[in-house]
Amino acid sequence: MSLDISSTPTADEVGLLDEPRYELMPFDSFGEQMVHLPDGATIAITTSPTLGLDATIEWTEEAAAEGYEIVPHIAARYVRDSDHLDEVAARLVDAGVTDIFVPGGDREEPAGEFDSALDMLQALEDLEYSFDDVGITGYPEGHDFLSDETLEEAMAAKEPYATYVVTQLCYDPAAVVSWIEQIRDRGIDLPVEVGIPGVMKYQRLLGISQKVGVGDSVRFLQKTSGVLGFIRQLIGSRGKYTPDELVDGLAPYADDPTYDIRGLHVYTFNQVPDTETWRHKRLQG
């Protein structure tokens, strides 16, 4: 059953939706998507398996010059060595970047000496260049190829080098809240950027979800939509997912210092206009 949405947004909802971080992929469509964002918006730019790190850096430089706050993803397995990392860091600093996100990267074989995010986070400590903020990945629903124990050990090892965590795509607010409680119990105090999907057609979103391994969240969507409703949404070309229930479920925890939810990280998959239309409607009530 869908949650009832108040005609007037609560202060917590406004806080979450007022200035979210938008994730874009460095494809040809990046420029035309960027112009639909608010002036000065914070944009996270992914590392593309097909285009490599160069496209991320080039779009970072271009978007930063347009006045946006850019958070490039510097995926460890795409960086060749310490010299390459130094070169990348120099270009980012020159572009005015103060915040980077460091995932491991999803290529099967690393491009060079960095096999994991931890390897590169440690190497960043030795550079003459530095960044005010460094983000790492969190997995509320686990990882297809890594055990929960391995994920816990990796986060504990990376925490000293990071200033915040961004969660992987998830549709279930209860799963996110429970995961934050678990990492707090383990002594992880980093602020959390909660990753949510933007607005898009169900067929595209579910295809993406299956690729990134969020099966539990797909089942959550089926449950909350109802089986018949879910099938209609999946088949109907006009059926679009909107993250209303996800935002509603997170809102009560938005200002609780125990959870320290710093904001929302919107996975737009380069579908910005629909997400922005939805966001403005929610803010207007």
49 inside domain: yes
2 inside domain: no
- What range defines the domain where residue 206 resides? 11-284
224 inside domain: yes
The radius of gyration computed from the CA coordinates of the chain, to the nearest angstrom, equals 19
- What's the whole-number mean pLDDT along residues 227-231? 45
Residue 260 has pLDDT above 50, yes or no: yes
Nearest-angstrom CA–CA distance, 250 and 10:
12
Give the model's pLDDT for residue 88: 98
Give the model's pLDDT for residue 9: 63
Q: How confident is the model at residue 71 (pLDDT cuts 50, 70, 90)?
A: very high
Strand partners, 114: none
269 inside domain: yes
- What's the whole-number mean pLDDT along residues 81-97? 97
240 inside domain: yes
Q: Buried b / exposed e across 149-181, counting CB within 10 Å, b at 16+?
A: eeeeebbeebbebbebbbbbbbbbbebbbebbe
- What's the whole-number mean pLDDT along residues 218-223? 47
Residue 223: phi, psi to the nearest 5?
Answer: -70, -45
Angle formed by the axes of helices 215-225 and 202-212, to 10°?
150
159 inside domain: yes
Give the model's pLDDT for residue 200: 84
1 inside domain: no
Pairing of strands 192-197, 261-267: parallel
Give the model's pLDDT for residue 141: 86
Query: Residue 257 class from Cβ within 10 Å (0-12 exposed, 13-18 middle, 19+ buried)?
Result: exposed
CATH code for the domain in which residue 206 is found: 3.20.20.220
pLDDT tens figures, 132-190: 999 999 999 887 777 889 999 999 999 999 999 999 988 889 999 999 999 999 999 99
Residues with Cβ within 8 Å of 254's Cβ and at least 6 positions away in sequence, in order, are 12, 13, 15, 16, 261
Q: How far apart are the first and last CA of the chain?
A: 21
> Across the chain, what does the average pLDDT equal?
86
Strand partners, 100: 134
Give the model's pLDDT for residue 107: 84
Query: Residue 108 class from Cβ within 10 Å (0-12 exposed, 13-18 middle, 19+ buried)?
Result: exposed
Q: Please tell me the total count of domains within the chain.
A: 1
Q: What percent of the chain has pLDDT over 70?
A: 82
- Residue pointed to by tokens 């993250």: 243
Output DSSP code: residue 254: T
Higher-confidence residue of 218 and 83: namely 83
Give the model's pLDDT for residue 228: 45
4 inside domain: no
